[in-house]
Amino acid sequence: MHDRQVNDAEPNPEPNPDPTAEPSHAEPSGARAIWRALANTRMLVCIFTGFTSGMPLYVLYHLVPAWLRDQGVDLTTIGLFSLIGFPYTWKFLWSPLLDHLSPPALGRRRGWAITTQVALLLALAAFAPLDPTGDIGLIAVVVGIIAFFSASQDIVLDAHRREILPDEELGVGNSFFVNAYRLSMLVPGSLALILSDQLPWSVVHLIVAAFMVVGIITTILMPEPPLAEGTSRTFKEAVTDPFREFFARNGTRSAILVLSFMLLYKLGDSMATALLTPFYLDLGFTKTEIGTIAKAASLWSAVAGATIGGIVMIRLGINRSLWCFGVVQMVTILGFAALAEVGNDPTWLFWVVSGEYLGVGLGTAAFVAYMARSTDRRYTATQYALLTSVMGIPRTFANASTGFIVDATGWTTFFLICAVLALPGMIILKWVAPWGPDPKPLG
């Protein structure tokens, strides 16, 4: 999903035909083009793999803390479980293995996908016999196992999605994936908590684990992409070739600009949303108002934004969408500055949050599509893992500074600073995604 301006030192091989693409003799246009991009089996694959990709992460971030606290575990111990994000940040380290090796059945992508999904099903079920009051060490081990296989599943499914989607469908396909990813939160974050009032936690864990069957069935039925011409033949090549190709594609300067764009495009947005719950509380909103008005507004608008963004990209293309959605994303941050001045007003809260997360959804749809497009089909797993790891750096480090900024400046100035911090990413678009038609696909 990233731009690659194609002035490669060496010509790219012709991409292999997409085995899931419907044959056509003429370029579709208008409503027919949109319908064709929406109504195909590739979109179903994106939806169901998005669900199975998101659910394990939300188990770790929503279900496990709720389970531990409900069973009397102290907050300090629960807080240490935040270290579970480590595999998601460093997954590019073992991604070459998944790019190079193929399990004995189902092919390279499907084989690794089903391996990680079966491992996740068993690991999620392993919570059932454990008691947080006496087995906290074992729970930590299981959490680590889930994080590793969840990150590994993401590597494989990101690569698979990149390889089955033609470039013109990257926007809508990734928006479907992101929406399903978000909606999967309802299983561990809502359904599981409701069931825990009626059933023992051991049964709840088994029910949640059973939802991994969705991914297993999808993996069995989804197509296996053909191996791209020029794919690395040795493990050493699998480790070095993706990085060499990325930096040699248009030169080191271009590669650094792309990585800088990865760091900066969502920086203002990420910082603005890092402390929203404390912000709402400081304005005097009740926890009930936050849990109903703010959370409902953020969910519907993020899903709507990603869906609208994906459809619009079919016509605008990724480059133009990055510009348009980036402006929306930057302007909607200013809504929080206005809310900080207005104060406790539920109507303002609903519309400001809706506007912000509509911008989040639009920007994410284009950003993720750009990231996928910036990977070479020969090295999708490794390059995609690298770019998503870079994308997560601002969330980890820049967001850590937000509390200091708010204490020093106040909420209104903080949100104005966040809007300004969105500008560098927009400026870099001039080089990585200039306004105009999208570049030719990579090999």
User: What are the pLDDT digits (tens) for 69-109?
Assistant: 888 888 677 767 766 767 787 888 898 888 888 888 888 89
Averaged pLDDT, 49-73: 88
Rounded to an integer, the average pLDDT of 340-350 is: 95
Q: Which two tokens stand for residue 168?
A: 């013109």
- Residue 297, both tokens: 């507004």
Transcribe 66-100 into DSSP letters: HHHHHTT--HHHHHHGGGGGHHHHSGGGTHHHHHH
Render pLDDT for 188-232 as a digit per residue (tens, 0 to 9).
888 888 898 899 999 999 999 999 999 999 999 999 988 777 666
Question: The dihedral of CA 247, 252, 253, 256: what is its sign?
Answer: positive
Q: Using a pLDDT cut of 90, give the percent of the chain over it.
A: 40
115 or 6: which carries more pLDDT confidence?
A: 115
DSSP character for 377?
A: G
pLDDT digits (tens, 9 = 90+) for 128-177: 999 998 899 999 999 999 999 999 999 999 999 988 988 778 878 888 89
Residue 207's pLDDT is: 97
CATH for 30-432, among 3.10.450.50, 1.20.1250.20, 1.25.40.10, 1.10.10.60?
A: 1.20.1250.20
For the segment 362-385, what is each residue's pLDDT rounded down to a tens digit? 998 899 889 888 888 888 888 888
Name the pTM for this structure: 0.73
Q: Where are the domains of the chain?
A: 30-432
Instruction: Please report which confidence band the pLDDT of residue 328 belongs to, taking 50, 70 and 90 as the band edges.
Output: very high
**From CA 129, how far away is CA 435, in angstroms rounded?**
56
Write down the mean pLDDT value for the chain.
84
Residues 6 or more apart whose CB falls under 8 angstroms from that of 56 comprise 120, 124, 146, 149, 150, 153, 212
CA atoms 204, 205, 210, 214: torsion sign: positive
Q: For the chain, how many residues are written?
A: 443
d(CA 143, CA 56): 10
Question: Please, what sign has the CA dihedral across residues 93, 96, 97, 103?
Answer: positive
Q: What are the residue ranges of helices labelled H in 344-410? A: 346-373, 380-391, 393-396, 402-409
What is residue 401's predicted lDDT score, i.e. its pLDDT? 77
Q: Which two tokens stand for residue 113?
A: 């996908």
250 pLDDT band (50/70/90 cuts)? confident
CB contact set of 39 (below 8 Å; sequence gap of 6+): none
To which residue do tokens 């770019």 refer? Answer: 387
Tracing tokens 């760091």 back to the chain, one arrives at: 263
Residue 19: per-residue pLDDT = 42
Q: How much is the pLDDT for 213?
A: 97
Percent of the chain with pLDDT over 70: 86
